[in-house]
Homo-oligomer: A and B are copies of this chain.
């Protein structure tokens, strides 16, 4: 997938290790019977980090989510490390909290840091008791293997039904200092974040206060991860953590202003790209779909309309079938919970092949079905809605609904 370029920001390798002072490692500790697939990882900063997190709003919260929230409260937004596993979500288990704390304790002891400075995340099957022994047996090896280029091993460890790892990092300047911000994410089902998407860890060497980090994260989540939907199912374990260790030596960002805006854009670039990667790698997906709603009176309206389209199963099936059934798009716009005049709406469907005009002023316009087929053949499809009622725009991302989504989820536990 091509990345959009942003002036002043350079894409670099390194994922969670792109920023100075961050080590990572990943290995197979035995949760996953496939020994070539990592299932446990650790991300560690050389120094303490200002840290902010956003978590699932599902009432059923994975034990690791609760432990993260407790730790961040106890430390007033500081952390040094994250330990994460795949294959078991440690959710809906009577001993879940105890096990999640045990994972932090094991990491804290092995790293010789306060276990309250360790955050924890788990993803996988809900409602199966997690064994702690695999972590106990492998924590030393995990710590010994930490390195400044261990990001790929960690990114592999959090993958579940993901078909590719998802890492993005950028380099940019704040006040003459070279800064870095990078992250990794995992999907790819039960993705309908209302805060974050399953597991996402972002690190940066920028110095920024905990308050500002929380603010910038909240603002950016709203227009990136929260605008992603694979299947409408909001996970119990959604976790997004950003750790800022300040090692790039800029003057700490403590208020809104130019430096804050530069940092915010870096965070947007990384989170937006991971969001698109998650959409492209949605369970069973053959196409990434980006829906832009412009001409809205408010940001909330633009987001609500764009997400309503991205979430529609009938629209998603039509995209899989490469069928320009635009009436389904208008239908999904129509049931979006926002105020606007449906008779002013223009709608185009585009891809790198070209742009298909399908609707003007809420009514269909004639188009060539042959050209429509050509446009919809591509792997990245862009739905462009103009409400013609204001000047605010927003994007949402998703994917088509395919046989393979059903197949993958028909028997996930086996």
Contact = CB atoms under 8 A, between A and B. Distances in A.
Interface of A: 57-61, 89, 91-94, 125-129, 189-190, 194, 231-236, 311-314, 317-318, 320-321, 323, 325-328, 330-336, 340, 342, 359, 362-364, 401-403, 405-414
Determine how many copies of this chain the complex contains: 2
Contact of A59 (B342, B359, B364): B342
A233 B313 contact: yes
Given A57-B335, A127-B359, A333-B60, A410 B318 contact: yes
Contacts of A413: 323, 325
Contact of A94 (B189, B363, B409): B363
A321 B411 CA distance: 5
Contacts of A231: 313-314
B364 A331 contact: no
A125 B327 contact: yes
A92 B327 contact: yes
A104 B340 CA distance: 30
A233 B190 CA distance: 18
A229 to B, nearest CB: 10
A232 B232 contact: yes
A314 B189 contact: yes
A331 B412 contact: no
A60 B334 contact: yes
A332 B190 CA distance: 10
Contact of A411 (B234, B323, B363, B405): B323
Given A364-B127, A405-B317, A233 B328 contact: yes
Of A57, A92, A402, A411, most B-chain CB atoms within 10 Å? A92
Contacts of A232: 232, 311-313
A355 to B, nearest CB: 18
Nearest to A317: B409
A99 to B, nearest CB: 13
